[in-house]
Amino acid sequence: MKKLISLFSILFLFSCSNIVDKPKNLLSKDKMSEVIADFAIYDQSYTINPNTNMEINSRFVLKKHRITAAMYRDSYKYYMSNPAQLDKILENAKEIILDKDPKLEGYIDKMKNKNPNVPSFVK
């Protein structure tokens, strides 16, 4: 009886390989990187003008990439369930931002030196 319970337990654990099911309209990793980079860029508009309507900025980014909020949310949730893939996506998004403004790399390095307790995903 114990062997049977152990067998079912092991089968159950291996059958649950994905925490989140793959969405029907999953955004590619490259597309996801582009969208996250644009969200990061437009998010900074708030620091320049605190009266900025962030909802309009979010809608603009979604419309620019021809995706819906549900597609983005479902894709982000899916990639969050696999941290290795999400790290690659965030690294690509960082590269996209640095390609748009290469001077940012010097600023990022300066801020990392100023605050050594920066989380690893920023480095």
Q: Note the pLDDT tens digit of each residue in 40-62.
A: 988 888 788 888 888 888 999 99
Asked, for residue 65, whether it belongs to a domain, the answer is yes
Residue 120 forms part of a structural domain: no
Whether residue 3 lies inside any domain: the answer is no
Query: Is residue 121 a part of any domain in this protein?
Result: no
Cβ-based neighbour number of residue 55 at 10 Å? 8
CA atoms of 120 and 104, how far apart (whole Å): 18
Count: domains in the chain: 1
Q: Tell me the C-alpha distance between 10 and 16, whole Å.
A: 10
pTM exceeding 0.85: no
The answer to the question of residue 4 being in a domain is no
- Would 10 be classed as within a structural domain? no
Domain assignment of residue 49, given as a range? 23-114
Within a domain: 102 = yes
Distance CA 89, CA 86 (A): 5
Question: Has residue 50 been placed in a domain?
Answer: yes
Q: What is the pLDDT of residues 81-108, one digit of tens each?
A: 988 999 999 999 999 999 988 888 888 7
SS3 content of the chain, % helix, strand, coil (to 5): 70, 0, 30
